[in-house]
Amino acid sequence: MEQLEAQGLSQMMICDPNAVFYLTGKWIHPGERFLGLLLQKGEMPVLFVNELFTFEEELGVKKVYYSDADDLLPIWKREIRGDETLGIDKVMAAKFLLQMMEGGAARGYRNGSPAIDAARSIKDAAEIELMRESSRINDLCMEDFKRLIRPNVTELEVAEQMLAIYKSHGAEGYSFDPIVAFGRNAADPHHMPDNTVLKEGDTVLFDVGGRYHDYCSDMTRTFFYKAEPSSLQKEIYNLVRRANEEAEAMLRPGIPISSVDKKARDIITEGGYGPYFTHRLGHFIGIEDHEYGDVSQMNSNLEEAGIIHSVEPGIYYMEGGVGVRIEDLVLITPDGHEVLNHYSHEIEIIE
């Protein structure tokens, strides 16, 4: 509510199931049906939910159930203050927004999501504990994933065994579908696991994450298979490693988030591979693998204690057939930072 007021809003309709979970602790996946949590200054929040998703828990909200036969407009209008602007969730489906506008549900409509995004970007103590544990599990899984590597295995065969490993360590599932890339496939940052067969001298890139009590992990490591890396592989690996470690080392509250991206990018550029680092340095993370908040040149905000984001420089040198990415999650602490992943950055050869 404070964040909303700072934006000049006295009411907002939150529709993103992730944001509804963040605020109520309750997952509701409404599919194409309307889900809305109406926050209003000085009032109990109102949760609009289809009767198909009736539930018992008391969430400190007023529940308003509707059926598929109901017209939503009068139901909304009974609760929304028609003479005030309504903050709109950035992901609200246009069909609902257009219906509100055509029916005159509020005086005006404005994207109110920056308020909830700002709140979500600062993790509280309980969230930090879950994020730590989620990344601890990811470290353990990474150790296990190396054991899936055997002669002639394909990327898909490896990837398909990862879910069971997450579950064996107490995770509920993936935070995103795992990326497994062998050899030159690692030089394509969007590569998805396919039937590529592993061969000696390949890099082996794992970009993986699990979900623990609804909180996401996300880490990348790049290994080598059965052979010392070539001088090109080593050069690229060490450059990416230095970019990762120097960017992480500088993290503390008060520095511009853009300066962290710049640090990593400058190192890679000075090393001669600037054009091959083709994406932002990182993204915020929590209930969602990608939450609002870029670690990029375009983010003019400052680092703050409680932020957790990835640091994931990469070089995708397709001409040389070499791709390397090294990614950790990092928490900004009151006086510096804490890297949530403890898996080594050393060059490691899988035998």
Q: Are 33 and 70 in contact (CB under 8 A)?
A: no
Least distance to a copy of itself, CB of residue 92, Å: 4
Give the CA angle between residues 283, 316, 194 to the nearest 5°: 90
Instruction: Report how far residue 139's alpha carbon sits from residue 219's, in angstroms, rounded to the nearest whole number.
Output: 8
Interacting residue with a copy of itself among 296, 302, 333, 338 (CB under 8 A): 296
What phi and psi, each to the nearest 5 degrees, are found at residue 262? -65, -40
Least distance to a copy of itself, CB of residue 88, Å: 5
Interacting residue with a copy of itself among 6, 25, 62, 98 (CB under 8 A): 98
Give the C-alpha distances (Å, rounded to integers) separating 136 from 34, 131, 276: 37, 9, 30
In the region spanning residues 156 to 185, those forming contacts with a copy of itself, defined by CB under 8 A, are none
Type of residue numbered 156: L
Q: Any contact of residue 254 with a copy of itself (CB under 8 A)? A: no
Where does this chain touch a copy of itself (CB under 8 A) — which range of 131-139, 252-260, 296-304, 326-334?
A: 296-304
Number of residues that bind a copy of itself (CB under 8 A): 28
Q: Any contact of residue 111 with a copy of itself (CB under 8 A)? A: yes
Nearer to a copy of itself (CB atom), residue 108 or residue 334: 108
Q: Are 239 and 212 in contact (CB under 8 A)?
A: no
Nearer to a copy of itself (CB atom), residue 68 or residue 351: 68
Q: Are strands 336-339 and 349-350 parallel, antiparallel or unpaired?
A: unpaired
- Going by C-beta distance under 8 Å and a sequence separation of 6 or more, which residues neighbour residue 14? 20, 23, 36, 37, 38, 39, 89, 116
In the region spanning residues 19 to 58, those forming contacts with a copy of itself, defined by CB under 8 A, are 31-32, 52
In the region spanning residues 56 to 95, those forming contacts with a copy of itself, defined by CB under 8 A, are 68-69, 88-95
Least distance to a copy of itself, CB of residue 15, Å: 8
Instruction: Report how far residue 165's alpha carbon sits from residue 144's, in angstroms, rounded to the nearest whole number.
Output: 7
Q: Any contact of residue 110 with a copy of itself (CB under 8 A)? A: yes
Q: Rule CB under 8 A: which residues touch a copy of itself?
A: 31-32, 52, 68-69, 88-95, 97-99, 109-111, 113, 190, 279-280, 290, 294, 296-298
